[in-house]
């Protein structure tokens, strides 16, 4: 390794980096706790709404709202939920990898600037790009949901499917795929997600009695489907933010640990070099005294 001045310069740089990453870790940890509370708090409401929608749409006869009507899939609509900023490990790359593994022609909508950049670099057809802040305001979610609804109803895409990272625990985030439109297969979706998130509680009890709906089944179905679609997207974005902040906290902790380990090595090398210099000077003095 270089001389003492060079080692000292590198040591100060590494120590400065460790201070920055430690501060970023603390900020991400605070945001992570808030995002986790929001995501966990919304899961039970989302599941109850999903079960109600499934029950209502299975009970007949009720006209299918436009968002539930099946159609031939010629071009899939894929929504990727990534981040606006980096320093979150492999989270964005994992979302991109899941997007590239999809079969068939697709058009993409990116939520998060990093996801849009990665998709554009791969030559994917990008219809729109959205950003959303850390608190996930519902007003922003509503505008995104309205855009997705419009491109589905206009026939621009034949499905609306979301690829998003979900928070499992602080050290684990998974990329899940969920079809939002057309709104069918709710029972299968509930079963698959309960296998991953078993702590959400028991399903609604089975009740064989007929369901009485006021003012009418068709009216409630139409309103419930639209509300359910917006609420599902909102919950997905809450989950993604929790996963993002968890991944960033872990990434900054690893960066801090690596910087501190490198600083320790540099400090030892600096001390060895200084000790060798002092020893050499002592030998020179001793040799000069002996000659004299």
More confident residue, 257 or 8: 257
Q: What is the pLDDT of residue 178?
A: 87
Percent of the chain with pLDDT over 90: 24
pLDDT band at 18 (very low <50, low <70, confident <90, very high): confident
CATH of the domain at 198: 3.40.1380.10
Q: What is the pLDDT of residue 207?
A: 60
Q: Is 213 a member of any domain?
A: yes
Which stretches within 59-90 are classed as H helix?
Answer: none
The answer to whether residue 217 scores a pLDDT higher than 80 is: no
Q: Is 159 a member of any domain?
A: yes
- b/e map of 112-135 (b: 16 or more CB within 10 Å)? bbbbbbbbeeeebebbebbebeee
- pLDDT tens-digit series, residues 152-187: 999 999 999 999 998 776 667 789 898 888 877 665
Q: Is 184 a member of any domain?
A: yes
Q: What is the pLDDT of residue 39?
A: 73
| Spatial distance between the Cα atoms of 15 and 1, rounded to a whole number of angstroms | 18
- Residue 104 φ/ψ, nearest 5 degrees: 85, 165
Q: Which residues pair with 162 in a beta bridge?
A: 79, 178
pLDDT band at 270 (very low <50, low <70, confident <90, very high): confident
Q: Is 278 a member of any domain?
A: no
The answer to whether residue 49 scores a pLDDT higher than 80 is: no
- Residue 2 φ/ψ, nearest 5 degrees: -65, -170
pLDDT band at 269 (very low <50, low <70, confident <90, very high): confident
Domain that holds residue 39: 26-247
Kindly report the average pLDDT of the chain as a whole number.
81
- pLDDT tens-digit series, residues 218-253: 777 777 778 888 888 998 898 888 888 888 888 888
The answer to whether residue 200 scores a pLDDT higher than 60 is: no
Orientation angle between helical segments 4-58 and 186-196, nearest 10 degrees: 140
The answer to whether residue 1 scores a pLDDT higher than 50 is: no
Q: What is the pLDDT of residue 193?
A: 60
pLDDT band at 89 (very low <50, low <70, confident <90, very high): confident
Q: Is 101 a member of any domain?
A: yes
Q: How many CB atoms lie within 10 A of CB 291?
A: 6
Q: Is 79 a member of any domain?
A: yes
Number of structural domains found in the chain: 1
pTM for the predicted model, two decimal places: 0.75
More confident residue, 2 or 122: 122
Tokens 């902040």, residue located: 245
The answer to whether residue 291 scores a pLDDT higher than 70 is: no
The answer to whether residue 112 scores a pLDDT higher than 60 is: yes
Q: Is 59 a member of any domain?
A: yes
Q: Is 272 a member of any domain?
A: no
77 contacts: CB under 8 Å, gap ≥ 6: 106, 107, 108, 109, 127, 148, 151, 152, 156, 157, 158, 159, 160, 161, 181
């Amino acid at each position: 390794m270089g001389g003492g001045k060079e080692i000292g310069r590198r040591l100060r740089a590494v120590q400065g980096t460790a201070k920055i990453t430690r501060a970023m870790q603390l900020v991400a940890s605070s945001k992570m706790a808030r995002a986790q509370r929001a995501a966990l708090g919304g899961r039970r409401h989302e599941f109850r709404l999903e079960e109600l929608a499934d029950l209502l749409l299975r009970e007949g006869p009720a006209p299918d709202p436009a968002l539930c009507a099946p159609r031939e899939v010629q071009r899939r609509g894929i929504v990727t939920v990534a981040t606006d900023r980096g320093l979150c490990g492999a989270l964005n790359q994992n979302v991109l990898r899941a997007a590239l593994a999809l079969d068939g022609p697709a058009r993409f909508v990116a939520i998060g600037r990093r996801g849009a950049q990665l998709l554009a670099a791969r030559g994917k057809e990008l219809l729109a790009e959205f950003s959303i802040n850390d608190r996930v305001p519902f007003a922003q979610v509503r505008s995104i949901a309205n855009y997705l609804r419009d491109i589905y109803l206009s026939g621009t895409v034949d499905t609306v499917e979301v690829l998003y990272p979900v928070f499992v625990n602080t050290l684990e985030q998974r990329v899940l795929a969920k079809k939002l439109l057309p709104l069918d297969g709710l029972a299968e979706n509930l079963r698959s997600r309960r296998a991953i998130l078993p702590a959400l509680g028991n399903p609604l009890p089975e009740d064989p009695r007929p369901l009485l709906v006021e003012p009418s089944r068709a009216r409630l179905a139409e309103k419930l489907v639209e509300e359910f679609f917006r609420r599902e997207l909102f919950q997905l974005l809450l989950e993604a933010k929790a996963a993002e902040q968890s991944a960033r906290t872990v990434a900054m902790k690893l960066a801090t640990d690596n910087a501190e380990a490198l600083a320790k090595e540099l400090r030892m090398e600096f001390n060895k070099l200084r000790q060798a210099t002092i020893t050499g000077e002592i030998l020179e003095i001793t040799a000069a005294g002996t000659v004299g």
